[in-house]
């Protein structure tokens, strides 16, 4: 309906320009239509007359009058009024408001989908947590947000490529491998103080046990040799970073390159397999798992660094190569290659993003945790320095959710091992509740995850409230079958004019809004709009359910009401489907 109204306004403007009642340069004006908050002001309102006032050099109410007079006749419009300084308010006819029910039933699971994106290729990278430990509840929000944003973009016609960037190279992975080896040494009977900067979770012990089962004592080296020449750890007055790096060098030296690679891969693959399973169980699917190590070993990172040098974007200082990111508004320049010749994480990020641009995506969306805010400027600067169209790159930040068990805040430190995993959360509250809660608020807003509320079966639990609306409609049809009665869709559609109650009018309006909400949530990357729409639709349905009987002595009225709530059930199912949440038939 909204698109049809826009076309009518555009047709009126074209006629006025042709008659020279309006200047030709107003033809490019973007016609905006908004739903009115007050039904007494009609169903839709447009401010186009005020937008055209300056370029047309006319009073906006005068322009509004011209537009209204030039509007083509259409059965969907019941009344058009000019309000305030020049708003044009449209009231829709009853038949056009009811038409949405037929549209929902005809399109079924396709209702709300569109071709807005016209097949544009969009890459969405999300989660991409370092494979140094299991995913925790903080990662869950990024997983839910990224997967729903991807689903919404696909729903409105974009060709979406979901991607996970596997940080399987670099220092953190070396620290994981070293941590596994040290735990292995403990299992072999060696005694020492575990490094303060090592990974301490139970999962490290599990991987170390696997290593012991595979190799026995073959990888055992005495502690005196392992710690020989290694800088002191922080508790002993030293530097924890130098200490763990020294132990990593000892592991590589004592084990040899081939064995160390096996150790490295054992830890990587064990955790990465766990992450894959976790995300699949959470409903976050990927088209590609992109390896950072593939960039390093294929020379792509080195090539990207050379391209930056050729573009005069780097300079050398104290033996290191620095990117001139301050030239692009960053607070300081960034090291790309350290003085020891080792490329930094930033160098890999540059290579990875250059790879994204080279793959020909029309849009590139990075979904990062809010703690990566400082990376945005430098990454965009590097792409600009390499003459890429930075307007294609959008970085969306997601605040980590904070989990509370009662009034107690639960820790989330991967290094310490004291955290609640995403799998534990999913097992406790369920995938549906977790996903819905995660996307219920804007991604840039802080979120406290109320564990007890998510588990409750009450109207205060948003996901339960929405799912219960779907289940309630299903229960109506079970009752219908028990009474050996039938729903006749055609009879229902032919008698929608009997639905004149305020609750029924509210449902007509809500159903017609669904495609608009899906499109807006998709193009603005705000899935919480869909969550709140479903909550509002569920509220309107529950109110209707409590106020009216669906099976009455008036057969035509009963069929019309059954048809309306069938459409409600379909839209709830469609919306929940986009969110990766189930639509149960009973609860």
Task: Please report, for the domain that includes residue 34, its CATH number.
Answer: 3.30.1360.70
Kindly report the three-state secondary structure assignment for every residue of 528-583: HHHHHHHHHHHHHHHHHHHHCCCCCCCHHHHHHHHHHHHHHHHHHHHHHHHCCCCC
Residue 244's pLDDT band, with cuts at 50, 70 and 90, is: very high
pLDDT mean over 150-174? 96
CATH number, domain at 554?
A: 1.10.730.10
Which three-class secondary structure state does DSSP give residue 93?
A: coil
Confidence of residue 418 (pLDDT cuts 50, 70, 90): low
**266 shares a domain with 193:** yes
- Boundary-marking domain end, from 60, 92, 124: 92
Q: Is the pLDDT of residue 437 over 60?
A: yes
Dist. CA 335–CA 320, nearest whole Å: 7
Q: Which two tokens stand for residue 442?
A: 């804007």
Kindly state whether residues 108 and 87 are assigned to the same domain: no
- Among 92, 124, 141, residue at a domain's last position: 92
- Structure confidence by residue, pLDDT tens digits, 178-234: 999 999 999 999 999 999 999 998 999 999 999 999 999 999 999 999 999 999 999
Q: Are residues 26 and 109 in the same domain?
A: no
Q: Is residue 513 part of a domain?
A: yes
Tens of pLDDT, residues 317-352:
999 999 999 998 888 999 999 998 889 999 999 999
Among 448, 356, 367, CA closest to 144: 367
Write out the DSSP string of 237-253. Answer: TS-HHHHHHHHHHHHHH
Q: Is residue 480 part of a domain?
A: yes
Contact yes or no for 500/548 (Cβ under 8 A):
no
Residues 107, 11 share a domain: no
Q: What was the pLDDT predicted at 410?
A: 64
Query: Which H/E stretch holds residue 169?
Result: none
pLDDT reported for residue 415: 47
Question: Which sign does the torsion angle of CA 257, 261, 267, 268 carry?
Answer: positive
Q: How far apart, in whole angstroms, are the C-alpha atoms of residue 292 and residue 345?
A: 10
Lowest-pLDDT range of 10-14, 146-150, 255-259? 10-14
Q: What are the C-alpha distances in Å from 436 to residues 228, 402, 570, 578?
A: 52, 15, 18, 11
Asked if 542 and 574 sit in the same domain, the reply is: yes
- Is 414 within the bounds of a domain? no
CA–CA gap between residue 48 and residue 57 (Å, rounded): 14
Are 86 and 183 within one domain?
A: no
The Cα 62–Cα 57 span in angstroms is 11
pLDDT value, residue 363? 98
Confidence of residue 39 (pLDDT cuts 50, 70, 90): confident
Q: Are 57 and 110 in the same domain?
A: no
Nearest CA among 480, 460, 459, 455 for reference residue 546: 459
8 Å CB contact between 165 and 128? yes
**Over the range 408-423, which residues count as b (16 or more CB within 10 Å of their CB) and which as e?**
eebebebbebebbbbb
What percent of the chain has pLDDT above 90? 79
| Residue 524 vs residues 337, 405, 469, 517: alpha-carbon distances, Å | 37, 33, 27, 10
What's the length of the chain?
587
Q: Which two tokens stand for residue 481?
A: 């079958």
pLDDT, tens only, 564-582? 999 999 999 999 999 999 9
Identify whether 483 is part of a domain. yes
Cα–Cα distance measured from residue 399 to residue 403, given in angstroms and rounded to the nearest whole number: 13
Cα-Cα-Cα-Cα dihedral sign, residues 547, 551, 554, 558: positive
Whether 410 and 403 have beta carbons less than 8 Å apart is answered as yes
How far, in Å, CA of 214 to CA of 259, rounded? Answer: 12
CA angle 521, 148, 119 (to 5 degrees): 70
3-state DSSP call for residue 443? coil
Q: Is residue 248 part of a domain?
A: yes
* Least confidently predicted of 250-254, 328-332, 478-482: 328-332
The answer to whether position 329 is within a domain reads no
pLDDT of residue 414: 46
**41 and 112 co-located in one domain:** no
Residue 76 in any domain: the answer is yes
Q: How far apart are CA 76 and CA 100, in angstroms?
A: 12
Do strands 314-317 and 408-409 pair parallel, antiparallel, or not at all (unpaired)? unpaired
Q: Which tens digit of pLDDT belongs to each residue from 62-91?
A: 999 999 998 998 888 989 999 999 999 998
pLDDT tens string 276-332: 999 999 999 999 999 999 999 999 999 999 999 999 999 999 999 999 999 988 889
Residue where a domain stops, chosen among 242, 272, 302? 272
Map tokens 């008036």 to a residue.
554
Q: What is the mean pLDDT of the chain?
A: 93
- Statement: residue 241 has pLDDT above 50: yes
CB 146 within 8 A of CB 402: no
- Predicted pLDDT of residue 411: 56
Residue 18: which domain range? Answer: 2-92
**76 with 111, same domain?**
no
Residue 455 lies in a domain: no
How many structural domains does the chain have? Answer: 3
Do residue 574 and residue 472 come from a single domain? yes
Burial class (CB in 10 A: 0-12, 13-18, 19+), 387: exposed
End-to-end CA distance of the chain: 35
Better pLDDT: 295 or 421: 295
Residues 225 and 263 in one domain: yes
pTM: 0.90
| One domain for residues 490 and 571 | yes
**Phi, psi at residue 298, to the nearest 5°?**
-90, 0
Query: Distances in Å between the alpha carbon of 152 and those of 4, 115, 523?
Result: 23, 12, 8
Check: CB of residue 445 under 8 Å from CB of residue 433. no
In tens, the pLDDT along 360-402 reads 999 999 999 998 998 999 999 999 999 999 999 999 999 988 8
């Amino acid at each position: 309906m909204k698109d049809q109204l826009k076309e009518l306004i555009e047709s009126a403007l074209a006629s006025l320009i042709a008659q020279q009642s309006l200047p030709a340069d107003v033809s490019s004006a973007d016609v905006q239509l908004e739903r009115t908050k007050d039904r007494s002001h009609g169903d839709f309102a447009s401010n186009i007359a005020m937008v055209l006032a300056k370029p047309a050099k006319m009073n906006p109410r005068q322009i509004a009058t011209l537009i209204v007079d030039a509007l083509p006749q259409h059965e969907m419009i019941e009344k058009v009024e000019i309000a305030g300084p020049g708003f044009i308010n449209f009231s829709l006819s009853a038949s056009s408001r009811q038409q949405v029910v037929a549209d929902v039933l005809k399109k079924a699971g396709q209702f709300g989908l569109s071709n807005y994106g016209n097949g544009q290729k969009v890459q969405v990278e999300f989660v991409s947590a370092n494979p140094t430990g299991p995913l925790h509840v903080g990662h869950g929000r990024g997983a839910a947000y990224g997967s729903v944003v991807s689903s919404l973009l696909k729903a409105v016609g974009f060709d979406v490529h979901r991607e996970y960037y596997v940080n399987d190279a670099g220092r953190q992975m070396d620290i994981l491998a070293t941590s596994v080896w040290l735990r292995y040494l403990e299992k072999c009977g060696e005694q020492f103080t575990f490094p303060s900067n090592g990974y301490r979770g139970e999962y490290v012990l599990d991987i170390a046990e696997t290593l012991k089962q595979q190799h026995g004592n073959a990888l055992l080296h005495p502690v005196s040799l392992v710690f020989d020449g290694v800088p002191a750890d922080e508790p002993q007055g030293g530097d924890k970073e130098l200490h763990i790096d020294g132990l990593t060098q000892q592991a590589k030296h004592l084990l040899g390159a081939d064995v160390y690679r096996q150790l490295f891969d054992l830890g990587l693959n064990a955790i990465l397999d766990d992450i894959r399973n976790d995300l699949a169980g959470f409903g976050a699917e990927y088209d590609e798992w992109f390896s950072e190590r593939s960039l390093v070993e294929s020379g792509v990172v080195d090539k990207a660094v050379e391209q930056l040098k050729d573009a005069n974007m780097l300079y050398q200082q104290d033996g290191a190569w620095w990117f001139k990111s301050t030239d692009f508004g960053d607070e300081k320049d960034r090291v790309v290659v350290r003085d020891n010749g080792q490329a930094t994480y930033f160098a890999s990020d540059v290579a990875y993003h250059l790879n994204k641009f080279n793959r020909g995506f029309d849009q590139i969306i990075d979904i990062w945790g809010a703690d990566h805010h400082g990376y945005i400027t430098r990454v965009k600067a590097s792409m600009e320095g390499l003459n890429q169209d930075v307007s294609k790159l959008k970085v969306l930040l997601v605040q980590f959710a904070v989990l509370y068990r009662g009034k107690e805040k639960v820790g989330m430190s991967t290094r310490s091992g004291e955290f609640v995993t995403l799998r534990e959360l999913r097992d406790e509250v369920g995938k549906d509740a977790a996903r819905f809660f995660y996307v219920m608020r804007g991604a840039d807003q802080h979120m406290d995850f109320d564990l007890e509320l998510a588990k409750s079966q009450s109207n205060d639990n948003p996901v339960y409230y929405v799912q219960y609306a779907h289940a309630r409609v299903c229960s109506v049809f079970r009752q219908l079958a028990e009474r050996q009665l039938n729903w006749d869709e055609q009879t229902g559609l032919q008698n929608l004019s009997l639905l004149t109650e305020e609750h029924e009018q509210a449902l007509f309006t809500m159903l017609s809004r669904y495609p608009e909400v899906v499109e807006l949530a998709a193009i603005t990357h705000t899935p919480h709009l869909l969550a709140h729409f479903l909550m509002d639709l569920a509220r309107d349905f529950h109110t209707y359910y409590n106020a009216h009987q669906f099976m009455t002595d008036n057969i035509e009225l009963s069929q019309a009401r059954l048809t309306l709530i069938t459409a409600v059930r379909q839209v709830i199912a469609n919306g929940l489907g986009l969110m990766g949440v189930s639509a149960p038939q009973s609860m």
